[in-house]
Amino acid sequence: MSTTGARVPGEEAEPGQARAWSGLWWWSRRRSVVLDVSLAAASALESAFEGAEFTAKVGIPTGLGALVGLLVGATLVLRRRWPIAVVLVAIAVTPAQTGLILSLVGFYTLAASEVPRRLTALLAGMCGLGTMLVAFVSIESSVRHSSSRLGLPLVLAISILVAAGLIAPPVLFGLYVRARRRLVESLRDRADGLERELELLAEKAAERAERARAAERARIAREMHDVVAHRVSLMVVHATAWKAVALKDGRKASESAELVGEMGRQALTELRQMLGVLRSEPGPSAAPPAAPPVAGAVAGADAGADHEPDAGPSLAELAQLVQESRAAGMGVELSVEGEQRPCGRRIEATVYRVVQEALTNVRKHAAGATAQVRLAYREAEVAVLIVNGPAEQAAAAIPGGGHGLTGMRERVTAHGGGFAAGPTPDGGFRVSAMVPTAG
């Protein structure tokens, strides 16, 4: 015999109730205990009265019938723990026409519980058949001892209606309560699932925002590295030359001093521009920027400001960059291939910074070496190649962070381009980059 318990809606204890009521046997709330004991008491009284009447008809002492009926009706207190057992007891006393409350409440509890529906239908059919037979015998006996003229078909139909009226309502109501409870549970589970999904989305959004901030910090660090490293390396070179000619040629010393001052002013100007961008706040109508995708965080950070007026230097300033390196005593040649055209502020700034960092590295690591800068405009891309020969003299003591090549690679790959760098067979160094302009 199955011992599956019934779960009536609202049976679960709330947090406050759980602290006040520790539970008794299979009851989790006081209200459930009061309800079941009240129903069991009513069923016991009803079954005792009907049992006494039945035993009086068949010649058995009424006291025994009342006692049995009392015990049978009291089994209703077990309905939540053993609903099948309660229903079987109700079916067993059906021939004695006893236990109406027991049958009604028992079948409701059985239908509302997690018992399989096929078992519920089988037990309901058994009880319905027994009730129909008892009703048929009772009605047919009444008709036979009276002057009524009711045929057997009519008596059978009345018996079927009586059985259906006693069994169908509690079963159908129990099935409805069961379906409603399952719906509420599914909605609660779905709400919990949505809450968990929202938490995961919030965590992912926070991770994307953090990655976007890290990418922006890396972009700002690259910009400041390029500006400071380039300008300071030029200042160091000029200061070294200034020291060498200070006592021999006053005019050249004065020119070197003027160039050092100019380099310092340019470095300060560019740093002020970048700090101004960092300190500027969006207008009141500006919406906060959306976090870029994880895979393209750097690209989104670099490409998102193409329309800003201070997006960086352009390729038109390469000639000035080369001229500054020449003024510092470096032999640099610039050649341009293809038809010059606008390529987008960010793309032009990326190519410019690659050339700037490559020339800075030449001054740091290959003093006295000549360098060739080749810029090529192609159909869907712009390419640059910087090649220098081996060092011809001791390099000036210019400290470096060792992130120059990494920064150049990050800049180029952020736009979907290609980057390569490495030594040449003659002891020099080669840096090449390709940045697509289409799309």
Nearest CA among 129, 89, 94 for reference residue 110: 89
pLDDT at 296: 37
The sign of the dihedral angle between the CA atoms of 383, 389, 390, 395 is negative
d(CA 261, CA 257): 6
Output the CA torsion 187→192→193→194 (10° steps): 90
DSSP β-bridge partners for residue 377 = 382
- pLDDT tens for the chain, 439 residues long, are 444 444 544 444 444 444 455 666 777 777 878 888 888 899 888 888 888 888 888 788 888 888 988 898 888 888 888 889 898 998 888 888 888 888 899 899 889 888 888 888 898 888 888 888 888 888 877 777 776 666 778 888 888 898 888 888 999 999 999 999 999 999 999 999 999 999 999 999 999 999 888 887 777 777 776 667 666 777 776 676 666 666 676 676 676 677 777 777 777 777 776 666 565 555 444 444 443 333 333 334 443 434 444 557 888 888 888 888 887 778 899 999 988 888 888 899 889 989 988 888 887 788 778 899 999 999 889 999 999 988 776 555 555 555 678 888 888 998 889 999 999 998 899 999 999 987 4
Distance (Å, rounded) from C-alpha 28 to C-alpha 17? 9
> By three-state DSSP, how is residue 202 classified?
helix
What pLDDT score does 69 carry?
86
Three-state DSSP state, 378: coil
Beta-carbon contacts of residue 433 (< 8 Å; ≥ 6 apart): 350, 351, 354, 383, 384, 408, 412, 417, 418, 419, 420
DSSP 65-124: HHHHHHHHHHGGGGTTT-HHHHHHHHHHTGGGT--HHHHHHHHHHHHHSSS-HHHHHHHH
* 156: its two tokens: 């059978």
Q: What is the pLDDT of residue 349?
A: 87
Please, what is the angle between helix 117-144 and helix 83-92, to 10°? 20
Please name the helix (run of DSSP H) or strand (run of DSSP E) that holds residue 183, with its range, or none: helix 152-245
Give the per-residue pLDDT at 44: 87
How far is residue 199's CA from residue 180's CA, in Å, rounded to a whole number?
A: 29
Contacts of 283 (CB under 8 A, 6+ apart): none
For CA atoms 179, 182, 188, 194, the dihedral sign is negative
Q: How far apart are the first and last CA of the chain?
A: 73
pLDDT of the residue at 323 = 87
- Which residues lie across from 372 on neighbouring strands? 333, 387
Query: Which residue(s) pair with 63 in the sheet?
Result: none
